[in-house]
């Protein structure tokens, strides 16, 4: 087993479930965790702990916001990151440590520099099956600026065509977004999941593109990708892959499986009550969303193909709205 491993995944990808697996197989997750197994001590706490939710100087949140995208990493940056991770471990000094933060997917070069050889596990989940939250869109702006400034990309997404669909959708949705005296603007609740998913998909693909570029540029060999859907559905090959990464001797322990539909259970557990994929599967889409769906599919298709989300591709291809 390794002395230190890292688990990441774009927000709401199920990285916390992998942290659960690491935990019941002998890895210590550190101190002061939240309900999603994020190491809040490492993320928020610096030399002076901030009680207002803002980044403390020296915290990993501060490091990400001031140092990203880590094209150049100083020895001071590396040492500071290593110290923060070590300080976030449980005080009893366990031999096997696991630190889980969703934002590690944007810090891979720094992790690899500070902890050479330590496994970095990135959890992949179907981006069409996850919604987003407005507070995370700060990173979307950074990612869009970064992509616009770079000449090298690891995908072939035609963002010009995708944005064309988005602009066309403004006219389609003009009667579904209306001002109100109390809340300012009201978006029809049947449209909101599609708008959320468009924002999430944009952020998701840009993180994957930047992550792939980081792996190539920095020659990172200790990075691994695990597919969430395969793990929760007990896919033998993916579980064996995870066991090899974690270097678990004997039989890999996993949390008790859901009773019926694992993905349905995890959608509910993650509060994904308004995600796009169930609406696509059940064909419960309202009129006027054609161009939004086209934009989402245009952006996500290369990655849906790369990670073999064949059923989602088939659903999109069979939609009359897409044709």
Query: What does the pLDDT read at residue 184?
Result: 53
∠ Cα 158 148 310 (to 5°): 35
> Within 13 Å, how many C-alpha atoms sit on residue 23's CB side?
17
Range 4-318: architecture per CATH: 3-Layer(aba) Sandwich (3.40)
CB atoms < 10 A from the CB of 140, how many? 17
Could you write out the DSSP letters of every residue in 3-42? SEEEEE-STTSSHHHHHHHHHHTT-B--SSB-TT--BHHH
User: pLDDT of 145-168, one tens digit each?
Assistant: 888 888 888 888 888 888 788 777
User: pLDDT of 83-105, one tens digit each?
Assistant: 888 888 887 766 889 999 888 99
Q: How many angstroms separate the CA atoms of 271 and 207, rounded? A: 22
Query: What does the pLDDT read at residue 213?
Result: 93
User: pLDDT of 172-194, one tens digit each?
Assistant: 665 455 555 555 545 555 566 67
Q: How many angstroms separate the CA atoms of 222 and 218, rounded? A: 11
Handedness of CA 13, 19, 24, 26 (dihedral sign): positive
**Type and span of the H or E element at 163:** helix 159-172
Pairing between β-strand 120-124 and β-strand 177-180 as defined by DSSP bridges: unpaired
- How would residue 170 be classed by pLDDT, with cut points 50, 70 and 90? low
Here the tokens at position 62 are: 């501060």
Mean pLDDT of the chain: 78
**Type and span of the H or E element at 224:** strand 223-227
Query: What does the pLDDT read at residue 272?
Result: 42
The domain ranges of the chain are 4-318
Query: What does the pLDDT read at residue 88?
Result: 81
CB atoms < 10 A from the CB of 189, how many? 9
């Amino acid at each position: 087993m390794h002395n230190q491993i890292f688990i990441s995944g774009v927000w709401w990808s199920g990285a916390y479930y992998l942290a659960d697996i690491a935990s019941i197989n002998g890895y210590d997750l550190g101190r002061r965790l939240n309900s999603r197994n994020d190491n809040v001590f490492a993320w928020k706490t610096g030399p002076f702990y901030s009680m207002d939710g803002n980044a403390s100087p020296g915290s990993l949140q501060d490091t990400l916001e001031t140092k990203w995208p880590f094209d150049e990493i100083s020895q001071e940056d590396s040492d500071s990151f290593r110290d923060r991770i070590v300080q976030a471990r449980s005080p009893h000094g366990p031999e096997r440590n696991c630190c889980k933060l969703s934002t590690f997917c944007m810090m891979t070069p720094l992790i690899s520099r500070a902890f050479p050889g330590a496994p970095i596990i990135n959890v992949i989940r179907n981006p069409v099956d996850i919604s987003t939250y407005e507070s995370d869109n700060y990173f979307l702006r950074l990612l869009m600026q970064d992509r616009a400034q770079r000449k090298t990309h690891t995908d072939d997404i035609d963002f010009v065509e995708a944005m064309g669909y988005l602009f066309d959708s403004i006219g389609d949705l003009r009667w579904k977004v209306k001002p109100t005296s109390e809340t300012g603007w009201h978006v029809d609740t049947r449209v909101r999941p599609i708008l959320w998913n468009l924002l999430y998909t944009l952020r998701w693909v840009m993180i994957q593109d930047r992550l792939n570029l980081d792996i190539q540029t920095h020659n990172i060999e200790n990075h691994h990708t695990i597919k969430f859907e395969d793990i929760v559905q007990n896919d033998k090959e993916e579980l064996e892959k995870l066991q090899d990464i974690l270097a678990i001797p004997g039989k890999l322990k996993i949390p008790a499986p859901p009773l019926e539909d694992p993905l349905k259970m995890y959608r509910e557990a993650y509060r994904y009550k308004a995600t796009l994929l169930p609406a696509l599967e059940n064909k419960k889409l309202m009129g006027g969303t054609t161009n939004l769906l086209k934009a989402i599919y245009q952006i996500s298709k290369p990655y849906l193909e790369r990670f073999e989300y064949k059923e989602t591709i088939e659903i999109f291809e069979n939609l009359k709205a897409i044709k």
